[in-house]
Homo-oligomer: A and B are copies of this chain.
Amino acid sequence: MNQPPRLLTLHPQDNVAIALGDIAPGETQGAPRLLQPVGQGHKVATAPIRAGENVLRYGQIIGQARADIAVGEHVHVHNLGMGEHSRDYAHASENAPLAPSSEDRSFMGYHRADGRVGTRNYIGILTSVNCSGSVARFIAEAAETSGLLDGHDNIDGIVPITHGTGCGMSGENEGYATLFRTLSGYAQHPNFGGILLIGLGCEVMQISDLVGGRPIRADGTLRYMTIQHEGGTRRTIEKGLDELRGIATLANKARRAPASVAHLTVGMQCGGSDGYSGITANPALGMASDLLVRHGGTTILSETSEIYGAEHLLTRRAASVEVGEKLIDRIRWWEDYTARNHGEMDNNPSPGNKRGGLTTILEKSLGAVAKSGSAPLTDVYLFGEKIDKRGFVFMDSPGFDPCSVTGQIASGANLIVFTTGRGSVSGYMPTPCIKIATNSDMYRRMSEDMDINCGDIVSDGVGLDDKGREIFEMLIRTASGERTRSETLGFGGVEFVPWQIGAVM
């Protein structure tokens, strides 16, 4: 950790590098020679930049030089600004597919009737409304106490999925539609080998609507009931245990079998970000995302409020004009959503961000977008909408971690990768969550909660591509059954957080 302060170049096309510590002139070993002191996280020109020319970080434009900038010069608010570049969506103008990988990689997964592949084999007790949440937990506890899963060694456990909504809402608006997609997505999720769905009976989110008219789990592994129809708590628990026994018999027949990594759908998330997120863990995850996409798999970027300001870079990567326009539609929706709630979309660097070296909204937003690598954007999905295309996709969501991850899982994520600088501890059953530390200090303090340390990019000079490969390999091991830290610790009991949109009535 006592290595000399260094400079990090995040992409070969960049004309700036990032100081990995406070650096004085002359202190850098190798080019460029600094012309003035530069603080940790700040930018230094690595090529001459003429006034008006683009400044590139992550291989992406973060603004234009306000004056000629010499090699070794500090690049910040005094000589870097933003022009009108962001007004031009240039839909689908930079969407060349990544070269397919020549490797043929697979994991050991659960092949489901609908063609999807699970990375876990849980039984879910899903609830339509808060009012059936306690009974769902009572059933799970009674199953545990009674040893209901004894001899069912292929089942990972029984997971009650409870939440704070499902009633006191309109049955017709986008809030209802969002919750409906979320619950439907969990009901069909490939990481569940079976589902027991429990309602109270009189709620807005009716069980009959959730299960009606569509084949969910044609293999008979979805059962449902309401507390009012069964006649109260005790009878519902008894009937629930009966149903669970039937579900468990079926779910226990599942066996892990080889599956192409093309069946992996990885929700990418950051929470508790810090100044390192955009230079270590996020770009490393971008490398892993590109690797998985080259293998035919799927990665999901979300957190619309945190990529705001960089949307025109994603539209350039859109597979088609229509896909680019879908993204912009969501951006416009968010501007309205925040305005009608007396707020605004504002992802501009805060004074603290600026002290840390972030100059423009583009640069800040790109720190979040960096998770997505360079693959074309295949499609854009609503929160919890079923993902039906492969490659790199976007799913609309807030940045709030449990809510965003809930949407990604509802959309079909069978793995989550979560970068964190401050140290988030959380898990999201039924989907395993790989935690990546952005810095070695936090990793040392919270190593029992972290699966990978990307702080060594700074502290030990490990390459982003090497970390990307390390993440990719952990994806495959985790998908095949290796437990993450948060799974071992038992997380996931409270982190199901549907996006509540609209008035609570």
Contacts and interface: CB of A to CB of B under 8 A. Distances in A.
A492 interface: yes
B495 A130 contact: yes
A96 interface: no
B492 A134 contact: yes
A168 to B, nearest CB: 2
Contacts of A401: 131, 167-168
A237 B424 CA distance: 15
Given A131-B425, A401-B131, A448 B232 contact: yes
A498 B232 CA distance: 26
Interface in A331-384: 337-338, 340-343
Contacts of A131: 271, 401-402, 424-426
Interface in A6-62: none
Contacts of A130: 402, 494-495, 497
A158 B268 CA distance: 35
Given A343-B503, A425-B131, A425-B227, A233 B489 contact: yes
A451 interface: no
Given A228-B422, A400-B168, A490 B202 contact: no
Contacts of A201: 272, 422-423
B398 A168 contact: yes
Contacts of A227: 423, 425
B137 A422 contact: no
A364 to B, nearest CB: 15
Contacts of A505: 305, 338, 343, 398-400
Nearest to A175: B341
Contacts of A446: 228, 231-232
A483 interface: no
A505 B423 CA distance: 20
Given A233-B425, A426-B131, A445-B231, A164 B341 contact: no
Contact of A342 (B133, B173, B493): B173
A163 interface: yes
A227 B446 CA distance: 9
B342 A202 contact: no
Contacts of A498: 164
Q: Per DSSP, are chain A's interface residues mostly helix, strand or loop, or mixed? A: loop
Contacts of A472: none
A375 to B, nearest CB: 27
A224 interface: no
Contact of A134 (B134, B425, B497): B425
Interface string A446-471: 11110000000000000000000000
A138 B162 CA distance: 17
Contacts of A320: none
Contacts of A202: 272, 422-424
A427 interface: yes
A95 interface: no
A170 B202 CA distance: 33
Given A232-B423, A233-B448, A502-B341, A493 B134 contact: yes
B400 A504 contact: yes
Nearest to A446: B232
A403 interface: yes
Interface in A156-192: 162-165, 167-170, 173
A200 interface: yes
B134 A426 contact: yes
A307 interface: no
Contacts of A232: 423, 425, 445-449
Nearest to A130: B402
B228 A423 contact: yes
Interface string A118-141: 000000000000110111011000
Contacts of A86: none
Instruction: Return the 7 tightest CB-CB contacts between A and B, nearest first.
Output: A168-B400, A133-B494, A232-B446, A341-B503, A202-B422, A164-B497, A398-B504
Given A164-B497, A168-B401, A403-B504, 16 more contacts: A131-B426, A134-B426, A134-B427, A134-B490, A134-B493, A162-B494, A167-B401, A173-B341, A200-B422, A233-B489, A337-B503, A338-B503, A338-B505, A340-B341, A343-B503, A400-B504
25 contacts: A131-B402, A131-B424, A131-B426, A134-B427, A134-B490, A134-B495, A137-B493, A137-B494, A164-B403, A164-B498, A168-B399, A168-B403, A173-B341, A200-B424, A201-B423, A202-B423, A202-B424, A228-B446, A232-B423, A232-B449, A305-B505, A340-B341, A341-B503, A343-B502, A500-B504
